[in-house]
Amino acid sequence: MTLANWRTAPFNRWAFHHLRELGPSADVPNDPASRWLTPGTPHSLLSVSKSRLGLLAGTLVGRKHLPPDRPVTDVVPEVAGAAYDGATIRHLLDMRVGIAFEENYLATSGSMAAYRKARGWEALAPGESPSGLQSFYRTLTASAGPHGGPVHYVSPNTDLLGWVIERATGAGTRT
């Protein structure tokens, strides 16, 4: 099992129960009184993370800690000059950022493959160095239209929203 084949059959059957052995992960505490899986059965959240992050953002918006109409680049200036120029936190929350990005999970090249490599979920080619998400965002410069347009499901938007929340709340700087 490798980062090169974990998403495809028959390897994915094993991989989805052993993601911790393949790439970066973290334990998320649960309520022991209301769980369906046993403690020895980890479950990957994958896109459920988008909903959980949306709930957190909604709470922060309600408490006036996260102004939804604030430009993303005001909070995370590292993405200035990329396709996120002019996008607001609301655009991230609504998946209405006008970014050219194809959410093709089996892509072997292009921005989705680069995204997986930046997250540590794709094997690096010989001679490639890990880049990380911060460097990855600077490569996303192509627009697919104005921000606020049609809903466009883009996983990197969720990671960026997490970065925005860390910066806006100071959570990423606490020790």
What are the residue numbers of the active site? 47
Distance CA(175)–CA(172), nearest Å, equals 8
**Cα–chain center distance at 78:** 16
Nearest to 123 by CA among 1, 18, 2: 2
**Cα–chain center distance at 47:** 9
Joined tokens for residue 8: 């495809």
Joined tokens for residue 133: 């998400």
C-alpha distances (whole Å) from 157 to each of 16, 28, 136, 153 are: 23, 21, 12, 8
C-alpha distances (whole Å) from 111 to each of 13, 117, 160 are: 26, 10, 15
Q: Provide the 10 A C-beta neighbour count for residue 51.
A: 11
The DSSP secondary-structure symbol of 125 reads P
